Amino acid sequence: MDSVMKQLIVTGVRQAEFEEVEQPGCGATDVLVRARTTAISTGTELRVYRAIPVDDEGKYLHERVPFVLPAENGYSMVGDVIETGPEVDGISTGDRVFLPAAHRQVAAMDVSRVTPLPESVPDDEAALLSILEVAHRALRDGEPPAGGNVVIVGQGVIGLSALAYCVAFGLRTAVVDLEPARLEIARQMGADLAVSPADGDYQQQVLELFDGAGADVALEAGSNWTTIRTV
């Protein structure tokens, strides 16, 4: 087995390169996975690539993650298991799995965070599982009441995923984004209201949708400090 692999590192503003590093070892409860494909987040990852912090003070790459470069990037991998630790059950060498790992040729991760994939789910779709998980956990953490009111600011892949859950759960949902194409997709997916901040009365439109009661839950999905303040 090769002892050296490549991983993608953001080294500076709009600068990234593949570095050769030692392949990780496999702990007792770990699974070692060779990547087939990794997904690129067009929100968070491009912001990191452009070296744009998430806060006004420039302290954080992500929430509670200090702004320090060089840094790894990425959190969605599909690959094949090449080794398992002695305490691993339920996953075997050769299995195709998903794991929340960065852009690297080989990743080691505790088996509790690794998901076996059915043959019916292709690699490029399975690589989006982290996106779906982010949206799902955010909505569950917000604990909207049955039939409650939800505002989603930002309609990229995470925001649209959150919208899909809201529609499935029967929540009354307003979405906000600057891009007309994204707003149209949101309408087609079942958003009760899709508005742009460029509309001077967009906040009033949201209040009217919610009968003046406001939102039970507001989700920020724009990876942008301005949208965080909007929420």
* Residue pLDDT tens, the chain, 231 long: 568 999 999 999 999 999 999 999 999 999 999 999 999 887 788 888 998 887 778 888 777 788 889 999 999 999 999 999 999 999 999 999 999 999 999 999 999 999 999 999 999 999 999 889 989 999 999 999 999 999 999 998 899 999 999 999 999 999 999 999 999 999 999 999 999 999 888 999 999 999 999 899 999 987 666 666 666
- Cα angle 67-161-146, degrees, rounded to a multiple of 5: 115
Fold adopted by 4-122? Quinone Oxidoreductase; Chain A, domain 1 (3.90.180)
Amino acid (one-letter) located at 175 = V
Reduce the DSSP state of residue 19 to 3 states and report it.
strand
- Output the CA torsion 77→80→86→88 (10° steps): 60
Residue 198 to residue 112: CA distance in whole angstroms: 44
Helix (H, G, I), strand (E, B) or coil at 50: coil
Beta strand extents in the chain (DSSP E only)? 4-12, 15-22, 30-38, 60-62, 65-66, 71-72, 77-84, 96-99, 106-110, 115-116, 149-153, 172-176, 193-195, 217-220
Asked whether the domain spanning 131-230 has the same topology as the one spanning 4-122, the reply is: no
Q: Using only the alpha carbons of the chain, give its radius of gyration.
A: 20
All structural domains of the chain with their residue ranges: 4-122, 131-230
Q: Taking the model in full, what pTM does it have?
A: 0.78
Homologous superfamily of domain range 131-230: NAD(P)-binding Rossmann-like Domain (3.40.50.720)
